[in-house]
Amino acid sequence: MSNEQTPAEPEVMEPAFWRRNGWSARVIKNEEDDGWAVEIRKQGIPEPVLISPWVMGRDKKNPKPFDATAFATFVKTASEVLDRSARQRDQAMTKKLSIAWEGRWYEVRVELVPDEYDPHALLSAIDDAGETVAKHRVPANYKFTRDIANAWVRGGFSEP
């Protein structure tokens, strides 16, 4: 993945398609019934972030046109979906345990590093002052249990 910025796309505000600030919303035919849906996309993400039902217009045949309020609501909801997904992914990639030893508390973590060519994990300990006291690279399949974390802390954080 490159670090280059994708050029900003021009703003569009049409009845069935809006694009602004890296987000787009397009009215599409709802495949599940006779109605309409809105597909919300974020620039740089290939799949839609959100697909939501959309209302019929006054003629009960065509979709209601977009407005600024509807667009802002969809973007807010889609942003929340992305945030929730990122939090779940982070939680799945990190395991944590709190370990007490010699009057101090340590948060012991194993964080998976999903490298395509060299997957691995990082085993670390953070003391109760928030300082990282040890960090070691371990295999991606490193077995992480309370007993193992306790032994590592009591052993002085030596390389596993």
Task: Give the model confidence (pLDDT) of 11-37 as tens digits.
Answer: 988 889 999 999 999 999 887 777 899
Provide the pLDDT for residue 3: 44
Would you say 126 and 107 are in contact if contact means Cβ atoms under 8 Å apart?
yes
Instruction: State both tokens at 14.
Output: 């049409």
Provide the pLDDT for residue 6: 55
Question: What is the arithmetic mean of pLDDT over 99-127?
Answer: 92
Instruction: State both tokens at 51.
Output: 């697909």
Provide the pLDDT for residue 1: 41
pTM listed for this prediction: 0.60
Residue 151 and residue 135: Cα distance in Å, rounded?
A: 15
35-58 pLDDT tens trace: 899 999 999 999 999 999 898 888
